[in-house]
Amino acid sequence: MRHKHSDYMNWSKTQSGARFNLATSGVGPFPLRELPVNLDTLEINGSDNGYGYLPLQKAIAARHGVDPGCVVESAGTSMANHLAMASIIEPGDEVLIEHPAYGPILDVAHYLEANVKRFTRTEENGWAIDTEEIRRFVTPKTRLIMITNLHNPTSVLTPEPILREIGDIARSVGAFVLVDEVYLDAVYENTPRTSFHLGPEFVVTSSLTKVYGVSGLRCGWILAQPALAWKMRRLNDLYSATPVHPGELLSVAAFQHLDPLRERARRIVEADRKLVRDFLKQQSSLFAVSTEWGTTSFPRLLKGNADAFLERLRCHFETSAVPGRFFEMPDHFRIGMGVNTEMLAEGLKRIGRAISQASGQHSTLATALRAAQL
């Protein structure tokens, strides 16, 4: 049986909610009433948007300095990743994916019956990509190397020289590099340009869903060379026929006001990052690689079982975070920033209280065990 589900998406939709919800990855919602858009110009049906609505394609292209023919509209980064992978991979092709990885990327690769191989980003190495590790795994059968930049779950940025090296490795075996850049605009200073410019082997996916607070628009895209982009549009005919036109119109409006949307998000994310940094400094039971950018942090619980801890956190402290097992790192958990600073502050306090309670229980148990041995 082919793999046909995502455990992470199912958990996220059904189990992640809590009064203090730190199981997020994107910034909080930007209200429609604050988007300067004339609702009288909104229409339900479009014409000539079968393979993309040109004003939106042009807006995406202009933002990235690419030709509109390289832009494929998609329903969020999820569909962008799916279309990109499905257009490139044939069953049995080798696909090299980072570890830890965002679960649905692996799920899609398995669904497409790829021969999935992994290269490791280690915590000791600050979750950086080790290109030697990629070089070791790549073979003439490798069709795709896939990474996220910023990395989900850790928010670590991969710099351009490393991306170029990955491009060189891919080119040497005729493979593509797929870079999911959905979090890249959460680098608020010297924001790197899209890796699409690094060479024809680069394919990029992204959306407005994470960094801009307009996830409901489902405005996503792929940047690919024109022939491959066309293949992706034709493949999308099998999935979603035509795009949702009111979404396209509102997405064009969002692009016209992208900078204020991003600035508003930046204020919340930066206030939250300070809280998370201060909190982690005080917690000897947690370790996390600190990052300057991004909307997530990925601490490791140094003692005890993280799954049991998160269960207790949700049941007794009304606080949620994403279990690291969804990133194949069961000792870790992911905290989100950028939604609501008061909520984050209270959620962090509650994580602190849950840790203290657990270490109190550990030392009571240890005392009882020592007493029993005497």
Ligand X SMILES: Cc1ncc(COP(=O)(O)O)c(C=O)c1O
In the complex, least distance from residue 175 CB atom to ligand X, rounded to whole angstroms:
20
243 binding ligand X? (CB under 6 A)? no
When the beta carbons of 87 and 207 are compared against ligand X, the nearer one is 207
Q: Which residue number has the CB closest to ligand X?
A: 76
From the CB of 190, what's the least distance to ligand X, in Å? 21
DSSP H helical ranges for the chain:
7-14, 54-64, 76-88, 103-111, 131-137, 160-173, 226-236, 245-256, 258-282, 306-317, 341-373
d(CA 323, CA 1): 27
Question: In the complex, what is the shortest distance from the CB of residue 67 to ligand X, in angstroms, rounded to a whole number?
Answer: 23
How far, in Å, CA of 353 to CA of 312, rounded? 11
Q: Which residues make beta-bridge pairs with 332?
A: 300
Q: What share of the chain is helix, strand, coil (3-state, %, to 5)?
A: 50, 15, 35
Stretch that binds ligand X, among 29-37, 72-80, 111-119, 318-326 (CB under 6 A): 72-80
Q: Is 182 in the site for ligand X (CB under 6 A)?
A: yes
| Interface positions, 87-106, toward ligand X (CB under 6 A) | 102
Query: What separation in angstroms does the CA of 316 have from each of 263, 283, 302, 312?
Result: 35, 20, 21, 6
CB 178 within 8 A of CB 144: yes
- Check binding of 180 to ligand X (CB under 6 A): yes
Residue 92 vs 239, nearer CB to ligand X: 239
Pick from 87, 209, 283, 295: which binds ligand X (CB under 6 A)? Answer: 209
Rounded Cα distance between 310 and 273, Å, is 21
Q: Please work out the total of residues on this chain that contact ligand X, with binding judged by CB under 6 A.
A: 13
Verify binding: residue 220, ligand X, rule CB under 6 A: yes
Distances in whole angstroms, Cα of residue 321 to Cα of each of 28, 193, 195, 269, 284 = 16, 31, 30, 17, 19
Member of 49, 78, 142, 155 binding ligand X (CB under 6 A) = 78
DSSP 8-state assignment for residue 52? -
> What character string, x for contact with ligand X (CB under 6 A) and - otherwise, covers 13-32?
------------x-------
Out of 21, 57, 77, 154, the only residue in the binding site for ligand X (CB under 6 A) is 77
The answer to whether residue 207 forms part of the interface with ligand X (CB under 6 A) is yes
C-alpha distance from residue 181 to each of 20, 64, 81, 360 (Å) = 27, 12, 11, 42
149-178 residues near ligand X, rule: CB under 6 A? 152
Residues found near ligand X in the complex (CB under 6 A): 25, 76-78, 102, 148, 152, 180, 182, 207, 209, 215, 220
